[in-house]
Structure formats: C-alpha cells, structure tokens
Amino acid sequence: MESILITGGSGFLGGALIVRAISKHWKVFATYHKHPPQFDDVNWLPLDLSDFSSIQQIFQYSNPDVVIHTAALTHVDWCEAHQCETKLVNVLGTEILAKLCQEHNTRLIYVSTDLVFDGEKGNYSEEDKTNPVSYYGWSKLEGEKLVQINCENHVIARSALMYGRPALRGTSFSEWLRTTWAMGKITPLFYDQYRTPIEVNNLADALLELASNSFVGTIHLGGSQKIDRVTFGNILARILGVSADLICKVSMKEATNVALRPQDVSLNISKAQTLLRTQFLNCEEGLQKAYET
Ligand SMILES: NC(=O)c1ccc[n+]([C@@H]2O[C@H](COP(=O)([O-])OP(=O)(O)OC[C@H]3O[C@@H](n4cnc5c(N)ncnc54)[C@H](OP(=O)(O)O)[C@@H]3O)[C@@H](O)[C@H]2O)c1
C-alpha cells in the first residue's frame, strides 16, 4: 500500500482528500495546525509550517511516497494585512517541504491557486503570464517557484475557487451562501467577477489521480464552466429551494475588501481534460452532487 501525507488535513480540501484517499486504499497521514479534527481513520500529525523542525518531524514519522501540500494561510484579506506570517507559512514552509521531498525521493503535489493571475484576460492556460494582484496570490506563486526549483518530481496544481460541503472541517463559498441564507440574510454577490469553480470532491479525485501518475509540471484544475457569482448563487438557490430574492447583485467596483481581487481568473482546463480520467463537472452537476441528497 502506498502512503500519502496530506498537509492541511484539517482544512476544507484536506478533509475531502483524506476521505477519498482512504476509499482508494492509500495509507494516509494528515496534518493539522490549530484544529485537530475528530476523525480516527487517519494518522494525525501536528504541523507548524513556520517551524523547520516541525516539518522535519512529520517527514521522519510518515516517510510518505507522495505529499499533497494543501496547508496554507488562505484568507486573502488576512494575508494582505499579515504579510510576514504569510511569507513564513506559504513561502518558506513550502520551500522546506519541497527540499525534504527531494531528499526523500517523494513526489510532491503542490496546490496553488487561480489567484496567481491578474484577471485581465481570463481563460488562462498553464503557459500564460502570472501577475498576482494580492499578497496571498504572490505568496502562492512564490511557493510554486520554490517547488519547481527544489523538487524534481513535482506537480503544481492550480485550483479554481472550490465549493461544496466539508468532509471533516473547513468551509467554502457555497457553504457561506447556504448558511447565510439559512439565517434569512441577503448575500451580496458580484455579477461581474468570473471563475471556473470546482466541486471539492471533484478536485480531490483529480489530485489523487495526479498523485498516482507520472506527470511533472503545472496543471490547471477547475470546473468545466466559466461563471459569475450571481449565476452560481442562482443555481445553488434553486437546488436548495431558497428564494433568489436573497441574492443582491453588486459590482466588484462596489467592494470594500482589504486586498484587490482579479475580475476574470477563469482557468483553461484542456490539459487536465486530456491528461486525466477524472471528468470535470460544471456548476449545475457539482452543486447537485454536493447538495441534492
Ligand atoms: N478554498 C479555495 O477556494 C481555494 C482555491 C484555490 C486554491 N486554494 C488552495 O488550496 C489549499 C487548501 O485550501 P482550503 O480552502 O482547504 O484551506 P483551509 O480550509 O483554509 O485550510 C488551511 C489548512 O492549512 C492549515 N494551516 C494553516 N496555517 C498553518 C501553519 N502555520 N502550519 C501548518 N498548517 C497550517 C490549517 O490547519 P488548522 O485549521 O488546523 O489550523 C488547515 O488545515 C490552499 O493551499 C489554498 O491556497 C484554495
């Protein structure tokens, strides 16, 4: 049985990966930082990515065949306001992990983001020029570069916005909508911001397929549909049986976020569609799968 180490097992994507990896018969090690999940089918390891010895210890203990590195500081506005902490965790922690993977002959799948692009063009392919507009996007891009330099057997998997239900912990855009609407509150949604959102289990399947194959390089993983947030919200509202009146259409220009947001970071997923057996869902399919049960 091959072993896999999932960093950020207590996060939204990490939880989905753990559950899918167990069902695919991987021996699973997973890390948490501040939130140890209550789930016993996994070898849990504490990890602080800003602490060199902590990263070394998890490696010594697990000695994995593959690492899927999802752990990161992910709140875009928090990262903008806390650049030093973000650099330690997202950049330097990733560098140490990449070096250890190289030393131990371990395959490294690094989960990056569509926010490495500036959103001026859309439909971004793997060859397009990166130009992040937020510190979070910059930190993930620096992580990409350090993975490329330090670990030969690597994949840089740039994910689009994730949605769906949490398997263990964490939350998503669709969960924020569902819980806000459940309180009867109206949600402001952009009608002029475009992404290619991906259902979290769909993403986990693609990442686990990459863990098992021999592809090396950068690959875009997203849903098969470019969509604005209002249209996404309307699909979810219909599936949940919630009134579309709970959606307030607003422009990105009206936003008051700390960090800048790009307008169109839709990903071109042709490479993944050619390379992988995983079928990439559109929002209707993904939201139905996540919420129609
Ligand atoms: N969410 C999205 O829509 C999206 C889109 C594109 C790319 N991504 C990328 O996908 C990955 C997973 O995202 P997510 O939404 O699942 O993230 P998340 O739910 O915010 O989880 C982040 C994980 O990182 C861990 N972590 C935080 N600080 C740490 C530290 N100092 N040392 C070690 N671990 C630490 C957290 O542990 P504790 O909770 O235990 O503290 C948690 O397990 C990230 O790399 C993110 O950049 C996310």
Q: Tell whether 28 and 108 lie within a shared domain.
A: yes
Cα separation of 148 and 151, whole Å?
6
CA of 183 to the centre of ligand 1 (A): 26
Tokens matching residue 107: 């395959």
CB 35 less than 6 A from any atom of ligand 1: yes
203 lines ligand 1 (CB under 6 A): no
**Section 9-32 average pLDDT:** 97
In this prediction the pTM is 0.97
Q: Is 94 in the pocket of ligand 1 (CB under 6 A)?
A: no
Does ligand 1 have an atom closer than 6 angstroms to the CB of 89?
yes
Atom of ligand 1 nearest to the CA of 162: 3
158 Cα–ligand 1 center, Å: 14
User: Is residue 102 scored above 70 in pLDDT?
Assistant: yes
191 and 202: one domain? no
**Of ligand 1's atoms, which has the minimum distance to the CA of residue 85?**
31
pLDDT of residue 293: 67
Rounded to whole angstroms, the Cα distance separating 118 from 265 reads 7
CATH number assigned to the domain comprising residue 129: 3.40.50.720
Within this chain, do residues 39 and 25 fall inside the same structural domain, yes or no?
A: yes
Q: Is the same domain home to 134 and 45?
A: yes
Q: Per the structure, how many domains does the chain have? A: 2
Q: Tell me what the pLDDT averaged over the chain comes to.
A: 96
* pLDDT of 251 strictly over 90: yes
Question: Is 71 near ligand 1, meaning CB less than 6 Å away?
Answer: yes
At 69, is the pLDDT very low, low, confident or very high (cuts 50, 70, 90)?
A: very high
Average confidence (pLDDT) over 231-239: 97
What spacing in Å lies between the alpha carbon of 237 and ligand 1's midpoint? 27
For ligand 1, say whether the CB of 162 is within 6 Å of any of its atoms. yes
Q: Can you give the residue range of the structural domain that contains 75?
A: 3-162+198-221
Question: Do residues 64 and 37 both lie within one domain?
Answer: yes
Which of 31-45, 141-155, 218-232 comes out lowest in average pLDDT?
A: 31-45
Same domain, 31 and 83: yes
Strand order in the sheet with 107-113: 43-46, 27-32, 3-7, 66-69, 107-113, 154-159, 217-221
Which CATH number fits the domain that encloses residue 248? 3.90.25.10
Q: Is the CB of 70 within 6 Å of ligand 1? A: yes
Among 7, 13, 97, name the best residue to mutate to test ligand 1's pocket (greatest count of ligand atoms within 8 A of Cβ): 13
